[in-house]
Amino acid sequence: MSGIPKLLIIYAIAIPLAVILGFLVSTPGMATVVVVAMLLFLFSLPVLLKWHHTLLIVLWNATLTIFFLPAQPQIWVLMAALSFGISWLNNILGQKNFIKVPELARPLVLLGVVIVGTALVRGGIGMQVFGGGSWGGKSYFLPIMAIVGYFAFTAARVPAAKATGLGQWFFLSGSTAAVSNLVYVLGPGFYVLYLLFPAVFAISQASADLTGSGMDRIGGLAFTGSAIVNALLARYGFRGLLGWRKPWRMLIFLAAFGSIAFAGFRSTYVLVGLTLIPQFFLEGLHRTALLPIAAGLCLVIAVPLIAFSDRMPMSIQRAMCFLPVKVDPSVQADAQASVDWRVTMWKTLTPEIPQYLLIGKGYRIDPTLLLATDIDLQLGFTDPFETSRIAGDYHSGPLSVLISFGLPGVVAFLWFLVAGTKALYQNYTYGNPILRNLNIFLLAFFIARTIQFFFVYGDVRYDLYLFTGLVGLSVAINGGVLKKPVRIRNVAATAQFGAPQPA
């Protein structure tokens, strides 16, 4: 009988709430979205309070947007804010869980100060979604949240038994990028999913269908294939993939590696190659019999590529046109035009660098100027890269830091990269043997990402969270930055015979 009142209370709350939600859903509008989002947040609050740190790790690389929030941020931004906020409140209440790593925190705090200071000096943080007269606020917001995300990662230590699994999902969640292309294939009936999965990856696919160019680039596969490759390496390492007893691992790896080509992005294959090389050497495989096996595998893959390169789909030809292989002339021209476009913009930007050395240009954008430039571009009155230059999209990692935040930003960013590399190396060297594969891959991938940022393609706005996520995950699974173990002298022998005397 004691259970009846509780049941009645549940019905009294749940039934009217269900009726209200049904009415709101049947009359869509912004108010409906806000109310439903708030209710979903309240219902999920118990899960967030318990699993926020795990969800932060799992969703960090997921390609999901929060469509009902201003500027529609990616899921990692929301999880960084929620996880850090919950951890900070727990810390105030007495749960001192934050892992303190001053050598990593200092450069990130300095970088955050430089970003905020640049925004204040250059006219403030203007955001279109809040009715601001200028744009560009989101470009400040993303690197700041990347820094917050690092501290959210280091708010709790991940148990060693769960670390490898979470590390695998940390990378595997990036496979959601292909949903954008899948929705396009499924048709208009599924387009509502673009509220959660950004349509940007399907744009080039739709453009090829409309123009009949023949270069059907499935952009999401670049990130999905990379995510699977990264997850396999983080879980099993190179040695585990080359083992003949479980061939399915290598088959999945090769399938994922091959799927990347359908996106037509050369930089993705460069990144995978830059990751595989240090991974192979860090595992010490160059001193084993696996070296000729890996060389033979590369030869098996390379022969058909060289022999039939110009007869493959155009997207695949574009992805490998940086190699000394024969490709269709139109594909080569398209790829070269992309390179020329970037080089011409960099030459134009070079004379502007001195005026931004002390105080960076920032990201403030005059919407009237951007609109006028876009019109001039359509009429052919300006250079093709001019709108990207105004928007701060320089397609160059070094320029994105130097022009946007000046030398102070460069110093802070380089300081963090050096400190991050050192921290990852120490955790790889002195870490728990159970975490060896994951620690090796985190170091190899961080090195590859750094090289890509400086010499291939990068933008500090969109790449900083990748760097902070890798370092933050390493700190979380290892409990900090590990040091070389100190040998403990035999205290009993010292007390009996005295300290050893020098010869």
Say if residues 208 and 215 touch (Cβ distance below 8 Å): yes
Query: 154 by DSSP, 3-state: which?
Result: coil
Running along the chain, 503 residues long, what does each successive block of 10 average in pLDDT? Answer: 54 62 59 65 79 96 87 92 93 85 97 95 68 70 96 95 95 95 91 89 78 75 96 94 88 93 89 93 87 82 79 85 84 87 90 93 81 76 79 91 96 98 97 95 97 95 97 97 75 48 44
Count of CB atoms within 10 A of residue 238's CB? 24
| Tens-place pLDDT, residues 24-60 | 556 555 566 666 667 677 777 788 888 999 999 999 9
Count of CB atoms within 10 A of residue 393's CB? 16
CA distances from 283 to 143, 229, 234, 270 (A): 33, 17, 12, 20
Measure the CA–CA gap between 224 and 252, rounded to whole angstroms.
12
What is the b/e burial string over 292-303, where b = at least 16 CB atoms within 10 angstroms of the residue's CB?
eebeeeeeeeee
Instruction: Determine the pLDDT at residue 72.
Output: 85
Instruction: Determine the pLDDT at residue 499.
Output: 47
> Which pair of tokens denotes residue 152?
């959210």
Measure the CA–CA gap between 452 and 268, rounded to whole angstroms.
9
Mark out the alpha helices in 122-178 (DSSP H runs).
Answer: 137-153, 160-172
| Tens-place pLDDT, residues 241-250 | 987 889 999 9
Measure the CA–CA gap between 473 and 223, rounded to whole angstroms.
20
Count of CB atoms within 10 A of residue 23's CB? 10
Say if residues 142 and 74 touch (Cβ distance below 8 Å): no
| Tens-place pLDDT, residues 304-343 | 777 788 888 888 888 888 788 888 888 888 888 888 889 9
C-alpha atoms less than 13 angstroms from C-alpha of 150 in its C-beta half-sphere: 26
CA distances from 327 to 312, 332, 355, 359 (A): 9, 7, 43, 45
What are the residue boundaries of the structural domains of the chain, listed by start? Answer: 30-97, 101-156+337-483, 157-327
CA distances from 477 to 224, 432, 439 (A): 24, 10, 9
Phi, psi of 135 (to 5 degrees): -115, 175
Measure the CA–CA gap between 379 and 487, rounded to whole angstroms.
73
Measure the CA–CA gap between 378 and 41, rounded to whole angstroms.
44
Residue (of 357, 364, 356) closest to 123 by Cα position: 364
Phi, psi of 295 (to 5 degrees): -65, -40
Instruction: Determine the pLDDT at residue 228.
Output: 97
> Which pair of tokens denotes residue 79?
């999880």
73: left (phi over 0), alpha (psi -120 to 50) or beta: beta
DSSP state of 358: S
Instruction: Determine the pLDDT at residue 36.
Output: 65
pTM over 0.75: yes
